[in-house]
Amino acid sequence: MNDHATGMTPTGRSSSDLLKRRAGDFAAGALGAAIINVLLVGVMWVVEIADYVLPGEFDVYGIRAWDPDSLGGVFLAPFLHAGFGHLMANSLPLLVLGFLAALRGITRFLGASLIIVLVSGLGVWFTSSPLTITVGASGLVFGYFGLVVARGLFDRRALDIVIGVGVAIAYYSIIWGVLPGEAGISWQGHLFGLIGGIIAAWIVRRRRPAAVTAAY
């Protein structure tokens, strides 16, 4: 008996149906990734506008190095910025890299973001000069960069590898930001954000099923 190609997958679906489903899933994931990042950056802008309009300085709630009472600033600092110029500099890379980081699912993205915030914030708290206040979303920017690049290595999916290589080429110059340089710039936040992104990529990576060995 001759074998005939039926265009059916082992699950009984045609190849075209499977491609349509995958395209639909990708489109839905991309829409969710875009929405969550627009909301994230939108909150930062609302906070900065409120800081500009209202009396007082919101930046005092950032990370104050070596002050145990300011550990809550680890979670607040990414939403605080030293003026609109600082926020504008972070907004575009945050939208682009955050979108790419969120393509594998909102739950993974939120978990990875929490890891990046913790690693970056605590790194700043421990390594900055005592009582120095640090604010800004740069740790997230560097964290998402590290996450997207490392994800291709850990997950070994073709699309993730292509995206990772593209991001590494497009944003390679930001790597210099992890080195001590210009006064007033937290290289610690950049460095530990990058480390946090790599750690997050490993923790939220796709788990491969264990190999099954059949005995005969």
Q: Which of the four CATH numbers 2.60.120.330, 1.10.3720.10, 1.20.1540.10, 3.40.718.10 does domain 15-203 have?
A: 1.20.1540.10
Residues forming a β-bridge with 14:
8
CA atoms within 13 Å, Cβ hemisphere of 134: 33
| pLDDT of the residue at 209 | 54
By the 10 Å C-beta count (0-12 exposed, 13-18 middle, 19+ buried), 188 is classed as buried
Token pair 């997230």 is at which residue?
140
Q: Report the alpha-carbon angle 66-141-104, nearest 5.
A: 120
pLDDT tens-digit readout, 165-203: 999 999 988 888 888 877 788 999 999 999 999 999 999
Q: Report the alpha-carbon angle 118-101-51, nearest 5.
A: 55
Residues forming a β-bridge with 133:
64
* Cβ atoms within 10 Å of 35's Cβ, excluding its own: 13
pLDDT tens-digit readout, 7-52: 554 445 567 777 777 777 778 889 999 999 999 999 999 999 999 9
pLDDT tens-digit readout, 74-121: 999 999 999 999 999 999 999 999 999 999 899 999 999 999 999 999
Does 216 score more than 60 pLDDT? no
Token pair 């906070």 is at which residue?
47
pTM: 0.85
For residue 186, give the 3-state DSSP assignment: coil
8 Å CB contact between 15 and 9:
yes
Q: SS in 3 state form for 175-199? A: HHHHCCCCCCCCHHHHHHHHHHHHH
The dihedral formed by the CA atoms of 189, 193, 195 and 200, expressed in degrees to the nearest 10: 160
Give dist(CA 143, CA 131) in Å, integer.
24
